[in-house]
Structure 1
Amino acid sequence: MAEKIEVILIDVGNTSVKTTEVINGEFVNTRVWKEELLLIIEHYGSVPLMVSSVKKLDKWIVGRKNITSLSHLSKLPIELDYKTPETLGADRIAAAVGAMEMFPDQNNVIIDLGTCMTIDLVEKEGVFRGGVIAPGLKMRMKAMSHFTDSLPDISNEWERIMSGELGKSTKECLFSGSFWGIIHEINGVLQTMRQDFTSLNTIITGGDAHYFESKLKAHIFAGSKIVQKGLYRIWKYQQ
């Protein structure tokens, strides 16, 4: 007999939806969807769903009995020290909780490299202190082309252009400004945070994380399931 699914964790991003089944506390059958959220929800039927979304959810989704949607109003195992909690992305909340779950009793910095780049700090006492939102890698490349007349868009070919920090062609310079700019930006933010926190545990996640983790001036932990771990912790906390 198949084991019963405890809950389905649904992470709605800007470009795709990721689902993960939880069976006996284990994360299994992670799947990436391109379909609409409605079709995904209908696919799972009446199984309990825990949803984190960077997009606003329809009222009928939030109102379904088997769906728990994450927001700043949710009962959370951390405190949000944030001036506008209603604008705080559910993915950032989930990642913050996931960091505390993975590395308790530490000051955690979560670097998420996706469509946008976010860098968030969660103190070891369980307080989310805020962070940074900046353009992601491809967004930077697209923006430079979009807002100028002559610069090309290298967002679909940048891996063939990769160069050192000083580009020798316009495309290499665009790569350098985008890729190495992110590295220097992250290192600068970490340096600033270390002025107030002598010990920082750094976690990197997101679709572009693997391009950057070896380039940063910090000991980095990979956090590929950090949002899922946070979602599951919050779901358990609310039961």
Structure 2
Amino acid sequence: MSEKLEVILVDIGNSAIKTTEVIDGDFKNIQTWRNLVEMLAKYHDSPMMVSSVKRMENETLEKYDAKILTHRTRLPITLNYETPETLGSDRIAAAVGACELFPEKDNLVVDLGTCMTIDLIDRAGVFQGGVISPGLPMRMKAMADYTDQLPDISEEWKELKGEQLGKTTKECLFSGAVWGILHEINGVFQTLEQDFTSLNMILTGGDAHFFESKLKAHIFAGSKIVQKGLYRIWKYQ
């Protein structure tokens, strides 16, 4: 019996496009693309479930067999958000993925991408809002862009030492960006767990692996959480 392709899950972020084939319920052939033209050359005839943070890509995909996730899409969670039309589809998909993975818990989803988002989805499946702040490379680049003499380390930070107190200006910039994010995440978690006692933290995004061992809370590294959310939403339609 041949395998059946159900849908292509498409996650369009600020810096990359990621696709995942769902074949008989399994996630396979995960690929990263430089642009939409390359991706559509392969998948133009396939059904797609799409999360995109770019408006132009959405307009292009409307011409294909693509279900584009928005706040108007029928969802298995409730959005307690005053401006749902401004809520990123990647945040919605990750929230649904968190509920799929841990349905009996309050979930804090930390997405460490171009921007860092921290979102709370309670055990009743209600998206309660979150936090948006600069991601790691953005913090490093901003310090260079908005000053006259500080260097831009956003392309070389992985080569620098990870000490708390830097001994060079570049190390100080690195420490400021890294420890700022760590204390921000820990602070949000510790504040929310006072009211949400079953709080579970899920890390995702391109820089998640770098912070996984440095956080105080018990965490789950969910590299496929957006895909899991997109697939759940696609099946829910």
Compute the TM-score of the two structures, normalised by the length of structure 1: 0.95
Q: Which amino acid aligns with 1:82?
A: Y
Instruction: Find the counterpart in structure 2 of residue 31 from structure 1.
Output: 31
State yes or no: 1:107 paired with 2:106. yes
Q: Which moved more, 1:52-61 or 1:107-116?
A: 52-61
Instruction: Find the counterpart in structure 2 of residue 145 from structure 1.
Output: 144
Instruction: Find the counterpart in structure 1 of residue 167 from structure 2.
Output: 168
CA contact (8 A) 2:10 2:17 kept: yes
2: distance between equivalents of 1:58 and 1:208?
25
Instruction: Find the counterpart in structure 2 of residue 219 from structure 1.
Output: 218
Q: Which moved more, 1:188-197 or 1:146-155?
A: 188-197
1:201: how far off? 0.8
2: distance between equivalents of 1:6 and 1:222?
26
Compute the TM-score of the two structures, normalised by the length of structure 2: 0.96
Alpha carbons of 1:88 and 1:179: their partners in 2 closer, same or farther (altered >3 Å)?
Answer: same
Q: Classify the secondary structure of the residue corresponding to 1:134.
A: strand
Listed one character per residue, the Cα deviations across residues 173-232 of structure 1 (whole Å, up to 9, x for unaligned) are 101100111001100111111121112011001110011011111001010100000000
Q: Which amino acid aligns with 1:7?
A: V
2: distance between equivalents of 1:59 and 1:155?
31
Q: Classify the secondary structure of the residue corresponding to 1:129.
A: strand
1: distance between equivalents of 2:230 and 2:63?
18
Q: Which runs of 5+ in 2 are unaligned?
A: none
Instruction: Find the counterpart in structure 2 of residue 183 from structure 1.
Output: 182
Q: Which amino acid aligns with 1:153?
A: D
Paired positions, count: 236
Instruction: Find the counterpart in structure 2 of residue 68 from structure 1.
Output: 67
Q: Which amino acid aligns with 2:156?
A: E
1: distance between equivalents of 2:120 and 2:44?
36
1:162: how far off? 2.0
Q: Classify the secondary structure of the residue corresponding to 1:172.
A: helix
Alpha carbons of 1:222 and 1:58: their partners in 2 closer, same or farther (altered >3 Å)?
Answer: closer
Q: Which moved more, 1:51-60 or 1:118-127?
A: 51-60
Q: Which runs of 5+ in 1 are unaligned?
A: none
Percent same amino acid at aligned positions?
65
1: distance between equivalents of 2:5 and 2:210?
34
Alignment root-mean-square deviation, CA: 1.2
